[in-house]
A and B are shown apart, each in its own frame.
Chain A
């Protein structure tokens, strides 16, 4: 059981800055995120794209912003639990017990949900029968590529994951790459490589085709693909891979009894607490009159939520307002006291 003052759900910019604000006022926290790295949407959706509205940073990328925030919270030695999704929540006396899908347990005084628009999960095929093959002959990510050796694999998608795996697997497998249009969104060099492999007969390329249906009993035997004119092709295949990026799902948080409206959690604007005492929500996931879905709003919300957490973590103490410029305590916590 990990015991700490506050559990932050979500390692995006809002969650990271909230950790900073907690650290400044002397509270400990740990962060859980379903992705394998910190940064949230900034890292997953636009690591290289510029952002122009972070105060005092005239331009930075999602990755730079994340790295800067990680640097800023370094003094607080915040513990991250990545690849973990929160599942269960239980009130035990005046504390919260939280469990993740990876069976990690937390005992905390309060919880800050900074979950963006939910946790990232792979987008799936629209055909119903895909579910029954998932995990055996149909995958949305690759953990062990050796199972594909000398097999026939049909890969769907046009982004970097689809292209990279098509190239990689074409070394030891028979690869079909299927994409809905002529153009690809992946890196130009990978697109060229795929076209070369196609010309050399080392990879079959089907553009302007999408999945129609899957055929097979326990394992996939055949995938049917169709083009815009409704023409259907049958491809014998042993494995099917889909790379359609990630989608955000609110997941188990929906069952926590929070006031949820249109996939957002309602909060007050005094300290961003939800309808449940001790549970706060900040960033894209919270809603209140006038809410702007900007990173800078998330920073403000995190600063206030952190102070809202104080009375739960230290019920017998009073929080005094201080500036980091002059507060000895804050500077000690930052490790910068001269």
Chain B
């Protein structure tokens, strides 16, 4: 288990124990955290699981694949700290990760 904190657009904070091996997206969907659509189911094909990662975590995450960067072009208001949460796999290294869910996914 690793603690992942999701800040939703309604200014609520949800800190969840997510099983290692699941994605940050799955952690949100399985725990009914609002604002993550994940239309394609985690296939890096839709950009509706878009999150903003807290700055201090940016360097600690695995680098983006080209496909993820390409999909982020399609996301709603992408920024430098944008990631697709389906591509962030929960591990001990991610314990304490804080992500912010955008106001919209499309």
Contact = CB atoms under 8 A, between A and B. Distances in A.
Interface in B4-46: 29, 37, 39-41, 45-46
B39 A248 contact: yes
A102 interface: no
Chain A contact surface mostly? loop
A158 B73 contact: yes
A244 B75 CA distance: 8
Given A123-B74, A179-B73, A183-B69, A46 B45 contact: yes
Interface string A116-135: 01100001001000000000
B40 A263 contact: no
Interface in A227-247: 228, 244-245, 247
Interface residues of A, number: 26
Q: Which among B66, B70, B79 has the greatest number of chain A C-beta atoms within 10 A? A: B70
A123 B41 contact: no
A284 interface: yes
B69 A181 contact: yes
A247 B73 contact: no
Given A180-B78, A248-B46, A185 B70 contact: yes
Contacts of B69: 181, 183, 185
Given A126-B104, A183-B69, A228-B79, A245 B40 contact: no
Nearest to B78: A180
A293 B86 CA distance: 15
Contacts of B40: 41, 45, 117
Interface in B50-106: 66, 69-70, 73-74, 76-80, 104, 106
Nearest to B82: A180
Nearest to A228: B80
Q: Which among B39, B46, B48 has the greatest number of chain A C-beta atoms within 10 A? A: B39
B55 to A, nearest CB: 13
Interface in A176-208: 179-181, 183, 185
B77 A126 contact: yes
A129 to B, nearest CB: 15
A75 interface: no
A159 interface: yes
A159 B45 contact: no
A183 B29 CA distance: 31
Nearest to A185: B70
B46 to A, nearest CB: 7
A12 interface: no
A179 B78 CA distance: 11
Given A126-B104, A228-B79, A228-B80, A245 B41 contact: no
Given A123-B74, A126-B76, A159-B73, A247 B48 contact: yes
A157 interface: yes
Interface string A250-283: 0000000000001100000000000000000000
B106 A123 contact: yes
14 contacts: A41-B40, A45-B46, A117-B39, A117-B46, A118-B39, A159-B74, A180-B78, A181-B73, A210-B77, A244-B73, A245-B47, A245-B74, A247-B46, A263-B37
Interface of A: 41, 45-46, 117-118, 123, 126, 157-159, 179-181, 183, 185, 210, 228, 244-245, 247-249, 262-263, 284, 293
Given A117-B40, A158-B70, A185-B66, 5 more contacts: A41-B40, A117-B46, A126-B76, A159-B74, A228-B80
